A and B are shown apart, each in its own frame.
Chain A
């Protein structure tokens, strides 16, 4: 029995490999390339929109310290709302505008899904910046804008980018559900697999989605490292004078 089960698994994986080797898998409307491109552009647009909305909001709240309650609310709502429900809602709301079918409701839903981690991380990142540094910057006569741009953001950047990374991975993974509401993406291949009872395709496409999510994670982790100010990286930096730290941290933004 156990041996037979093992053989079944090997046989199944062989079928999956054969599916990947089949040229048909790589061409046409429902081939991996077409759906991958669709998956990427829908995810990219959604992430850009999430950053466009979430980042200014998070920075504003983090810088002023006002609206912390809103952040908690956003974070909780973001966690509580099921993604598929969000897509269904976007679908229903956009139907009267003639935009219910196609990529738009998916992008709206993914954007809504992507915003909370970005807002929360931007807020937390800014709040965690040493208050003494911010006060010192102000004391040096920096305008609020410059305090934000030259002191707070550079120091908070790793945390901010971690939010973008979380958001990106969530968006890429969740975009799979778009196939339910006409959004296509790699999820389309999984849906077809379900509807025609082809487990090989379900598994194969799921592997592609998983690989894409992991690649996104790795890519953004690299970006996060690159975005970490040299002064904050690796070896602990022991400040002797607070003002000096402010200047050094500001350097990459203002060479």
Chain B
């Protein structure tokens, strides 16, 4: 009972502090004129329907877009976790959605049959050409990328001095690898390791597990394997303090995140849409994305809280 009462008291106090804070921000003269400006602007700004695919990263980035745009004065409707790309992309093209966080390589390959390369600019250029025909626009990409990658334990990295994939290539034969079942025929895995890093895939000591799964991260953390095929923003990388090796010779295709918006919306919304989203994208590094994933997947935070916290931490 006592703890309960203390808790309620604490919560009430917290609520008081929070409510006291919000009007405080508006007290500065600049802010009050800003508020007036955005209020009058809100009448002109179009409402935006934001969608996302059905996994944490797409959803949290969409939520970050949503909150940032709300701060900028837009009215936002959220349609998060709609499904896979075969659902979201037609919705975006058809006008049911106005804005989506998308992956350069994924969208180019899956929806347009293009061939993404590790070259971000070239891949984005190719994507933009395709998008234009569908009346869509892609803004600036994040520095962070969610692609196939390889991780090792911190101790292995320290012992062998591993920071990049080129470092790993030199000791590849001494380590036990955990890779996806289909690694041998994935151009970004087995054949790619051979082509880009000169790693003799066929002679590797390897076990097969689902890539990007908790299982493969657990197996790496428990020293059952020494190298794991991961997704570069996989939450467990942060959770187990694993070391993601830098793809220094560019094996993985560009899977940086870009906001994809309908041209009509961009015309109506003007510069504020683009500048707001670009400001967000600029700060989303691979590490930041991984940490967001850890907050959501490992710590059970809601998309809303994780997005709000991230925006606050980054002063947006």
- When the two chains form the complex, which single residue of B182, B185, B209, B222 contacts A182, counting CB atoms closer than 8 Å? B209
* Residue ranges of B at the interface with A (Cβ–Cβ < 8 Å): 178, 180-182, 184-186, 207-210, 215, 218-219, 222-225
Q: Does A181 contact B (CB under 8 A)?
A: yes
B184 touches A100 (CB 8 A): no
- When the two chains form the complex, which single residue of A102, A191, A192, A195 contacts B207, counting CB atoms closer than 8 Å? A102
In the A-B complex, the 4 residue pairs with the closest CB atoms: A95-B222, A195-B182, A192-B182, A191-B181
- When the two chains form the complex, which single residue of A102, A180, A192 contacts B185, counting CB atoms closer than 8 Å? A192
Answer whether A100 and B208 are a contact pair too, CB < 8 Å, given A91-B215, A192-B185, A196-B185: no
* Residue ranges of A at the interface with B (Cβ–Cβ < 8 Å): 29-30, 88, 91-92, 95-96, 98-102, 179-182, 184, 188, 191-192, 195-196
B185 touches A100 (CB 8 A): no
A29 touches B222 (CB 8 A): no
Answer whether A101 and B207 are a contact pair too, CB < 8 Å, given A92-B218, A95-B222, A96-B222: yes
- When the two chains form the complex, which single residue of B215, B222, B223 contacts A181, counting CB atoms closer than 8 Å? B215
Chain B residues positioned under 8 Å from A196 (CB to CB): 182, 185-186
- When the two chains form the complex, which single residue of A88, A96, A98, A188 contacts B208, counting CB atoms closer than 8 Å? A188
Chain A residues positioned under 8 Å from B184 (CB to CB): 29-30
B180 touches A195 (CB 8 A): yes
- When the two chains form the complex, which single residue of B207, B210, B219 contacts A180, counting CB atoms closer than 8 Å? B210
A182 touches B178 (CB 8 A): yes
B218 touches A182 (CB 8 A): no
Chain B residues positioned under 8 Å from A181 (CB to CB): 209, 215
* Closest Cβ–Cβ distance, residue A209 to chain B (whole Å): 15
Question: Complex: how many Å from CA A195 to CA B223?
Answer: 26
Question: Complex: how many Å from CA A63 to CA B63?
Answer: 66
A101 touches B180 (CB 8 A): no
B181 touches A192 (CB 8 A): yes
A100 touches B219 (CB 8 A): yes
A to B CB contacts below 8 Å, 12 in the list = A29-B184, A88-B215, A95-B219, A99-B224, A100-B222, A101-B178, A179-B208, A180-B210, A184-B208, A191-B181, A192-B185, A195-B182
